Amino acid sequence: MVATRTLLLPVAAALVMGFGLTVAVAAEPPHAPAPAATVAPNDPFGEQVTMPEMTVVYVDGSGQWDNAFETILAALKSVNGTLDKLGVKASGAPMTIYTSTDDSGFKFQAAVPVKDAPSLPAASEVKVGKAPSGPALKFVHRGSYDAMDTTYEAITDHLEERKLEAKELFVEQYMKDPIKTPEDDLVIDIYVPLKDAGATVGQKGP
C-alpha cells in the first residue's frame, strides 16, 4: 500500500511555509490493486464540521503501512479488552488518531469514546484523554482500508486547491465495527482538523 496518508501531515507545513509539496514514492514490486472504494450519493466530501469535545480511552501505538490495519485492530482490541474488564461501555464509534506519519510508518492513538473517564491502574498502557475537537473537514470512505489511498489523494488535493491549513493530525472514525465488519464493507469518517477557527461553521462531528 502506498502511504498516501503521509501527504496530510506535511501539507499543513507546506501551506504555511508557501512551498510546493513534492512526494517521492519508492518503486514497489507489482501487486494486486486494492478493491475500489464506493461512494454514496449523500456522503460528505470536505463538509465543514465542528468536532465536539469527548473523553476517550486509548492506547498509543506505532506501525508500518504494510500491515497498518492489522496494527490498528490489535490496538483497538486492547482498548476494548480493558473496557470489558472495567465494565465500561463505549459511547461512540472507535477511532484512530494519527499523530505522526512518514513514508514507512506512523504513530497513532487507538481510541474509544466513553461517557465518563474510568479509573485505570497506574501501570496500565491504556490511558484516558480527550479526542481532537474544534473546526474540521469531514470526508467519508467506503470500502477497504487499503483502498483509502485514493480517498486521501482527493483530500490532499482538496486542501491544496482551497489553501486550507490543516493541523498536524487527522482522525479516522469507524462507523462499522472494524473488528467484526468485512474489510470491503467498512465505512470510515475522516476528520481533518483545521488551524483557522473561522474557516468552518458546521456543527456536525464524530
Question: Each residue of 156-203: pLDDT tens digit?
Answer: 999 999 888 888 889 999 999 999 999 999 999 999 998 765 544 333
* pLDDT of amino acid 198: 55
In a domain, 38, yes or no: no
Q: What is the mean pLDDT of the chain?
A: 80
Q: How many domains does the chain have?
A: 1
The domain containing residue 8 runs over which residues?
A: 4-18+44-199
* Cα–Cα distance for residue pair 178/122, rounded to 1 Å: 29
E strands of the chain, at which residues?
45-51, 55-64, 95-101, 105-114, 127-130, 134-142, 170-174, 187-193
Q: Give CA–CA dist 121/125, Å, rounded.
A: 9
How far is Cα of residue 107 from the mean position of the Cα atoms in its chain? 11
pLDDT in the model for residue 5: 67
In 3-state terms, what secondary structure has residue 121? Answer: coil
> For residue range 126-140, what is the model confidence (pLDDT) as tens digits?
999 999 998 999 999
Structural domain contains residue 165? yes
181 located within any domain: yes
End-to-end CA distance of the chain: 27
**In a domain? residue 36:** no
- What is the structure's pLDDT at 56? 97
* CA 112 to chain CA mean position, Å: 13
Say if 26 falls within a structural domain: no
Query: Is the pLDDT assigned to residue 19 strictly greater than 70?
Result: no
Answer yes or no: is pLDDT of 31 > 80: no
pLDDT for 22 = 30
Is 99 among the domain residues?
yes
Query: Confidence class of residue 30 from pLDDT cuts 50, 70 and 90?
Result: very low
